[in-house]
């Protein structure tokens, strides 16, 4: 199978869950696609390794948009920003292009752009143990 996993709010909140899942998928001959807005840097890859997350592919929305020569807006702190109508469909398009069987993400707005299965990972910790 081909599994997609977001980093921020998903892997970095529940790393043991996704370490187990990613290792199982790769162990079974599948692919794990880390699919994130953040640029592909040594810092984020080291962070994933430290969390015990193996992956076979890394997709960055930021890197892809820069590659496509979209011009970002820069914040005062140097952060890059792209318009929502450009940014929000990117993960869904990537998953469709690469036939991802299931993608986990904590941003509900992305779901409408998926034709492949999209699993919303809750942002609210209280849903896991409601009592
Ligand atoms: Mg996220």
**CA 12 / ligand 1 centre spacing (Å):** 9
Q: Residues 6 or more apart from 112 whose CB is under 8 A from it?
A: 92
% of the chain with per-residue pLDDT over 90: 89
Please give the C-alpha separations between residue 129 and each of 15, 34, 67, 121, 124, in angstroms, as whole numbers: 17, 27, 42, 14, 10
**CA 121 / ligand 1 centre spacing (Å):** 9
pLDDT number for residue 102:
98
**CA 9 / ligand 1 centre spacing (Å):** 5
Please state the pTM of the whole predicted model.
0.94
Q: Which CATH class is domain 2-86+99-126?
A: alpha beta
Q: How does pLDDT run across 7-24, given as a tens digit for each residue? A: 999 999 999 999 999 999
| Banded pLDDT at 32 (limits 50, 70, 90) | very high
Burial class (CB in 10 A: 0-12, 13-18, 19+), 40: middle
Q: How does pLDDT run across 43-77, given as a tens digit for each residue? A: 999 999 999 999 999 999 999 999 999 999 998 98
Look at residue 127 and tell me whether its pLDDT is greater than 90: no
Closest residue by Cα to residue 113 from 61, 63, 66: 61
**CA 11 / ligand 1 centre spacing (Å):** 9
Look at residue 78 and tell me whether its pLDDT is greater than 90: no
**CA 5 / ligand 1 centre spacing (Å):** 9
């Amino acid at each position: 199978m081909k599994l997609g996993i977001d980093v921020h709010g998903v892997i970095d909140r529940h790393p043991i869950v996704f370490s187990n899942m990613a290792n199982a998928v790769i162990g079974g001959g599948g692919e794990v696609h880390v699919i994130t807005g953040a640029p592909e840097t040594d810092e984020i890859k080291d962070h994933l390794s430290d969390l015990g997350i193996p992956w076979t592919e890394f997709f960055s929305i930021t890197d892809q948009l820069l590659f496509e020569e979209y011009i970002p807006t820069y914040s005062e702190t140097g952060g890059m920003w792209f318009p929502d109508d450009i940014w929000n469909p990117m993960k869904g398009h990537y998953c469709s292009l690469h036939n991802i069987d299931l993608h986990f993400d904590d941003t509900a707005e992305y779901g409408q752009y998926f034709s492949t299965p999209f699993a919303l990972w809750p942002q609210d910790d209280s849903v896991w143990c409601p009592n």
